[in-house]
Structure 1
Amino acid sequence: MGKKQTEVFVANTEQQLEDVYRVRREVFVNEQGVPESIEIDDKEIDAVHFIVYVHNVPVGAGRFRMLEEVAKVERVCVLQEYRKHGVGALLMEKMEDVAKQKGVTKLSLNAQTHAEDFYKKAGYQTVSNTFYDAGILHVRMEKELKNNSCI
Structure 2
Amino acid sequence: MKIKETDQLDDTYQDARTIRRHVFVEEQGIDEQDEFDGTDSKAVHFVAYVDNRPVATARTTVTEMGVHIQRVATEKRFRHQGYAKQLLQTILNDDRFANSTRFYLGAQQTAVGFYQTLGFKTYGQPFVEVGIPHINMEKV
Whole-angstrom distance in 1 between the partners of 2:103 and 2:95: 8
RMSD across aligned positions (CA): 1.5
Q: Where does residue 92 of structure 1 map in the other structure?
A: 88
Q: Which runs of 5+ in 1 are unaligned?
A: 1-5, 145-151
> What is the TM-score when the length of structure 1 is the normalising length?
0.87
Q: 1:137 aligns with which of 124, 133, 138?
A: 133
Q: Where does residue 36 of structure 1 map in the other structure?
A: 32
Closer, same or farther in 2 for the Cα pair 1:143/1:96, shift >3 Å?
A: same
Whole-angstrom distance in 2 between the partners of 1:50 and 1:85: 17
My pick for the range that moved more, 69-78 or 8-17, is 8-17
Q: Which runs of 5+ in 2 are unaligned?
A: none
Q: Where does residue 123 of structure 1 map in the other structure?
A: 119
Residue 69 of structure 2 aligns to a residue whose secondary structure is strand
1:25 partner letter:
R
> What is the TM-score when the length of structure 2 is the normalising length?
0.93
Task: Please tell me whether residue 9 in structure 1 is matched to residue 7 in structure 2.
Answer: no
Task: Please tell me whether residue 76 in structure 1 is matched to residue 72 in structure 2.
Answer: yes
Closer, same or farther in 2 for the Cα pair 1:129/1:69, shift >3 Å?
A: closer
Task: Please tell me whether residue 64 in structure 1 is matched to residue 60 in structure 2.
Answer: yes
Residue 89 of structure 1 aligns to a residue whose secondary structure is helix
Q: 1:104 aligns with which of 96, 100, 104?
A: 100
The 4+ residue runs of structure 1 with deviation greater than 4 A are none
Give the length in aligned residue pairs: 139
Among the aligned pairs, what percent are the same residue? 32
How much does 1:116 deviate? 0.3
